[in-house]
Amino acid sequence: MSTLVNYSGDNEFYSGGSLCSADLGLMLSLGHADIYFPVTKRARISSPFVVEERTKNSPIEKLPDECLFEIFRRLQGGCERSAAACVCKHWLMLLSHVRSSDICHTNLSAADGASKDTNMVSADEDLEVGCNGYLTRHVEGKKATDIRLSAIAIGTSSRGGLGKLSVRGSNSVRGVTNVGLSAIAHGCPSLRVLSLWNVPNVGDEGLVEIARGCHSLEKLDLCHCPSISNKGLVAIAENCPSLTSLMIESCRNIGNEGLQAIGRCCTKLQSLTIKDCPLVGDQAVISLLLSGTTMLKKVKLHGLNITDFSLAVIGHYGKAITDLNLSSLRNVTQKGFWVMGNTQGLQSLASLTITLCMGVTDLSLEAVGKGCTNLKHMNLRKCCFVSDGGLVAFARAAGSLESLYLEECNWITQMGILNAVSICRKLKSLSLLKCMGVKDLPPQASSLFPCESLRSLSIRSCPGFSSTSLAMVGKLCPQLRQLNLSGLTGITDAGLLPLLESSKAGLVMVNLTNCLNLTDEVVLSLARLHGETLEYLNLDGCMKITDASLVAIAGNCPLVGDLDVSKCSITDSGVAALSRGVQVKLQVLSLSGCSMVTNKSIPFFNTLGESLVGLNLQHCAISSSKVGLLVEDLWRCDILS
């Protein structure tokens, strides 16, 4: 017999035909209603379901809900409960309120119980059970309804239990409410992870039911849930002591009281994210950090009305914090960051991200560097008051720094970056994005020492960065393995060639997207010097690159697996040369916008197809019929045309 309730959550019910969701309030008010099941092929129906008033009630329908409840809780098999749930939505809602603890368990013989369930459950259902014995369900958009959650609660109760539930969005007509969440709470006591995103009709009542029924909850995400307030969060804190991860975003009614309760009760909390919650202030942060048994390791605070006092508490009591992310803290001044660093409490901090905080200045940045002695990864985004002096002082103080990322820090210039790179003896990765202050200045590299540890260099969309700057950087980075210069329209062959020649370790990944002035000479040098190690090359938008580059790659780069020559001056001859090349691991090839690649290249693609899994032929001069034949021949390859 086929499954009666679809456990995957893709469809509402199974019973020969389809049953469409209706407004839950309407269904609960219709105590005696027939649901019409046409004996036809199952189909998705968006029109309202058929409700017919009964003129002749069967004896069982005269029973009050209390009696039906007693009957339902004696249905031990999952298939029996699923079958009963398909009779009507009224029965479904009653069944969804039967807790696992309410079910009467009796000893069933193999003939009466176990064998019956075995026959009724289809073989592929076992594939839905995860390796840890828990199921995962994800519902979103118009599929997110109370009826859906009720069906999931019943369907998973006898199959290892629901371990993870994600609800994103909500049906505009019959969206998820407290009733649906209560059904999950009653039927899924094993729930460990709950994510609610943009569900405005779920409030404290539903979250309280989750707290009462799901004591094993470990992770809770609440995003854009305006009806949930401190009351619901307090219930979670008091009933879910195993909570290790909490994310609250854009929940305007959650404030200090709820988070204070989390701080008091959830001593296992390790990850905390609070974003754009206007009622959250210093009291919440203080309560979460002052707990004597705090295990917080990851903390993200974004757009909150906290002050310098919160940062002082973090700096003093955040001894276990390894990852700290602070963003858009308008009321935090230079003093807050200075105190956070000087309290010397963030000794375990390994990663720090600061975005759009006006309090980050040269003085406070130096203090952070001195106080976080084990800091390895530093990300500064849109911190407009940090200059060369602060960056160099920070680099000198942060002796363990391995990764530095700077985005839109426009007071920092070329010399500040070069000096910082020269000072950081353990730096492995440097990334610059849209730093408008990086411009060509008179070179002063004679007093700078090469950074032998640097393996990855990324300089993107910095319009002032040109060939002169690149040549200086090349002298400081002799051991590069990854190079990303996308969007640097000012660099030429004369600036990049010295860097390629000074790189001794062998480049593995090179991204030169939209470097408009580069020519084949760069690719020829790259293939000659680094062809034995090169695995990834992106030349998208380099219009001066021609077939000569593909000939060089074909003859010198056996390990290249991802090649992008989109919008380059490539013809059929270049593709032919590539098909005869030494590369044996080419998996992804992009020729998008190469208008001189025509139908003549089809045989060459077939040759390359032995290893290809991705081929981009968009805006090439290849007919749709030829592409169709190519799709048939290269059936393992994903072809875009």
The CA distance from 41 to 195, in Å, is 34
- The predicted pLDDT at position 148 comes to 86
The CA distance from 491 to 69, in Å, is 76
Residues 556, 527 contacting (CB under 8 angstroms): yes
Q: Which segments in the chain show pLDDT lower than 70?
A: 1-133, 158-160, 292-293, 441-446
Q: 506 - beta bridge partners?
A: none
Q: Which residues contact 546 (CB under 8 A, 6 or more apart)?
A: 520, 568, 569, 570, 574
- The predicted pLDDT at position 582 comes to 87
- The predicted pLDDT at position 118 comes to 31
- The predicted pLDDT at position 87 comes to 55
Q: Do domains 62-97 and 519-640 have the same CATH topology?
A: no
Residues 329, 353 contacting (CB under 8 angstroms): no
Give the residue from 16, 81, 88, 25 showing the smallest Cα distance to 51.
88
In CATH terms, the fold of domain 62-97 is Monooxygenase (1.20.1280)
- Angstrom distances, CA of residue 530 to CA of 5, 255, 558, 625: 58, 56, 11, 39
The CA distance from 193 to 187, in Å, is 15
- The predicted pLDDT at position 77 comes to 52
The CA distance from 132 to 155, in Å, is 18
SS3 272: strand
Give the residue from 532, 536, 572 showing the smallest Cα distance to 556.
532
Q: Which residues contact 26 (CB under 8 A, 6 or more apart)?
A: none
Q: Which residues contact 403 (CB under 8 A, 6 or more apart)?
A: 376, 377, 378, 427, 428, 429, 430, 431
Q: What crossing angle do the helices spanning 572-579 and 547-556 adopt, rounded to 10°? A: 0
pLDDT digits (tens, 9 = 90+) for 417-452: 999 999 999 999 999 999 999 887 665 545 788 999
267 burial (CB, 10 Å; 0-12 / 13-18 / 19+) is middle
- The predicted pLDDT at position 326 comes to 98
In CATH terms, the fold of domain 519-640 is 3.80.10
- Angstrom distances, CA of residue 119 to CA of 98, 110, 123, 531: 24, 12, 9, 61
Tokens of 213: 């029924």
- The predicted pLDDT at position 90 comes to 60
Residues 622, 598 contacting (CB under 8 angstroms): yes
Alpha helices per DSSP H over 4-102: 24-29, 65-72, 78-85, 89-96
For the chain, the structural domain boundaries read: 62-97, 519-640
pLDDT digits (tens, 9 = 90+) for 205-252: 999 999 999 999 999 999 999 999 999 999 999 999 999 999 999 999
- The type of residue at 279 is L
